[in-house]
């Protein structure tokens, strides 16, 4: 497979998959009715932030795939699965505690990916830094929503 075709496939998988899952699990009345912490961003911010992050995630995944880096590839796939599980857990099943467990595992997978790829593919690792920051913030937000709303 050519590098450019592989790159496009990574983009379609990650950006397309992420946006599709986001569309299928749109925050509804349940989320609108939750008590929110004062640092909760406006709803319109999430789609553009995630779109940019999904592009970065796709590029990082393609870079470690292109270099044939086995451990970073495994961690990349693990974080993608966890990423794609969070919205259905939180919005679809309204399981804030389950979603918190998923996002903590996602945070661990992101850190592990950065560590595993730092020496061999520093660009891929660096592309995950904004993702790490956003998911750390999202973890705090998920935990705060759980705290403020109990098991709602």
Radius of gyration of the chain from its Cα atoms, rounded to whole angstroms = 16
DSSP element (H, E) containing 143: helix 129-149
Q: Rounded CA gap, 103 and 107, in Å?
A: 6
**3-class SS of residue 6:** helix
pLDDT tens per residue across span 64-120: 999 999 999 999 999 999 999 999 999 999 999 999 999 999 999 999 999 999 999
Read off the pLDDT of each residue in 40-55 and give the average, rounded to a whole number: 94
For domain 3-149, which architecture applies? Up-down Bundle (1.20)
Model-level pTM?
A: 0.94
Q: Rounded CA gap, 47 and 55, in Å?
A: 12
Domain range list for the chain: 3-149
Percentage of residues of the chain with pLDDT beyond 90: 93
55 torsion bin: left (phi>0), alpha (psi -120 to 50), beta (else): alpha
């Amino acid at each position: 497979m050519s590098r450019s075709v592989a790159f496009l496939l990574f983009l379609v998988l990650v950006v397309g998959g992420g946006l599709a899952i986001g569309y299928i699990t749109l925050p509804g009345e349940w989320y609108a009715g939750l008590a929110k912490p004062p640092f909760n961003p406006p709803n319109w911010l999430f789609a553009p932030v995630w779109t940019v992050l999904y592009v970065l995630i796709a590029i990082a995944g393609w870079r470690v795939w292109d270099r044939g880096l086995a451990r970073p590839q495994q961690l990349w796939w693990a974080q993608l699965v966890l990423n794609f599980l969070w919205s259905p857990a939180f919005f679809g099943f309204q399981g804030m505690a389950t979603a918190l467990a998923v996002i903590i595992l996602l945070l661990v997978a992101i850190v592990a990916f950065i560590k595993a790829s730092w020496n061999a593919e520093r660009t891929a690792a660096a592309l995950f830094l904004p993702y790490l920051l956003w998911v750390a913030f999202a973890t705090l937000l998920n935990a705060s929503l759980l705290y403020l709303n109990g098991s709602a």
